[in-house]
Amino acid sequence: MSRGGKGGGNVPEPSGAVGEDRHAPGPTAAIVVIGDEVLSGRVEDINSLYLSRGLLELGVAVRRIVVVADVVADIAAEVRACADRFTHVFTTGGVGPTHDDVSLKGVAAAFGCRQVRSPQAERIIRDFYGAAMNDSALRMADIPQGAELVMPEGMRFPVVRVENVWVFPGSPHLLRAKFDALRDRFASTPFSNAQLAVNCGEPEIAAFLEQVQGEFPRVAIGSYPQEPGAPVRLILTLRGKDGGMVARVLEQLRSGLSGHLVE
């Protein structure tokens, strides 16, 4: 399976159903959060939120977010499944020097390859740690065979890429810096967005929303009840790649919900 090779350029958008957003043709993504500390509630996952928002701005639809334990077989199974279904896969966490940092091992297993010591990664690690360098630190130089090391400008450590899978650290400040340095690689046609505020319950308008969604399958219509005491009861959101179509759906909703709109 090849998703753009190892050249480091943009991964092409899919032309068929695999990896395509059901509402707007274009690239999709999955985020695999790795770590027992997230599953136990000791650490709050803010990385997937940051990635989701950033990818949406770039025109990439995030279609799956999953949290898995520090178990090689679990990581491998999830990464393999996501790599087959989505344009991009981002893993976060589990890339350090300790015994429970097994993300790279899991990604290697997902692609049926072994881990090898990367001379480039080893040089970077030795330069960074200097006299404090030890065998544990060098574990971070063991990457899946055939992986690409992508070194964003200004970064001390590279991001490991295997096919369409990008391996990011779990520390939020490091993840943000690396993703921001690489974000142009994932850019696609941006989404057009719109929203309406309405004062009614979802059951009152559910049938109408379903009807409009059926007429415009390429525009995602979302309904979000607000908390008690909020100035409106529902926020309706629209998202699609075709701005003209989004505008048409917006006008149809305005017309059909005229008695409930909050301007």
Domain boundaries, the chain: 28-186, 192-256
For the domain made up of 28-186, give the CATH fold: Molybdenum Cofactor Biosythetic Enzyme; Chain A (3.40.980)
- The separation between CA 91 and the C-alpha centre of its own chain, rounded to angstroms, equals 8
User: What whole-number distance in Å separates Cα of residue 94 and Cα of residue 103?
Assistant: 5
Does the structure show a pLDDT above 80 at 18? no
**pLDDT tier, 22 (very low <50, low <70, confident <90, very high otherwise):** low
HEC profile for 68-93? ECCCHHHHHHHHHHHHHHCCEEEEEC
What pTM did the predictor assign?
0.88
Q: What's the CATH code, domain 192-256?
A: 3.30.70.2860
Long-range pairs, 39-44, Cβ under 8 A, ≥24? 39/67, 39/69
Please state the φ and ψ torsions of residue 123, each to the nearest 5 degrees: -60, -40
> What type of residue is 172?
P
Does the structure show a pLDDT above 70 at 216? yes
125-151 tens-digit pLDDT: 999 999 998 999 999 999 999 999 999
**pLDDT tier, 25 (very low <50, low <70, confident <90, very high otherwise):** confident
Please state the φ and ψ torsions of residue 126, each to the nearest 5 degrees: -65, -40
What pLDDT is stored for residue 68 in this prediction?
98
- The separation between CA 59 and the C-alpha centre of its own chain, rounded to angstroms, equals 11
Helices 47-57, 172-182: axis angle to 10 degrees equals 20
Does the structure show a pLDDT above 70 at 227? yes
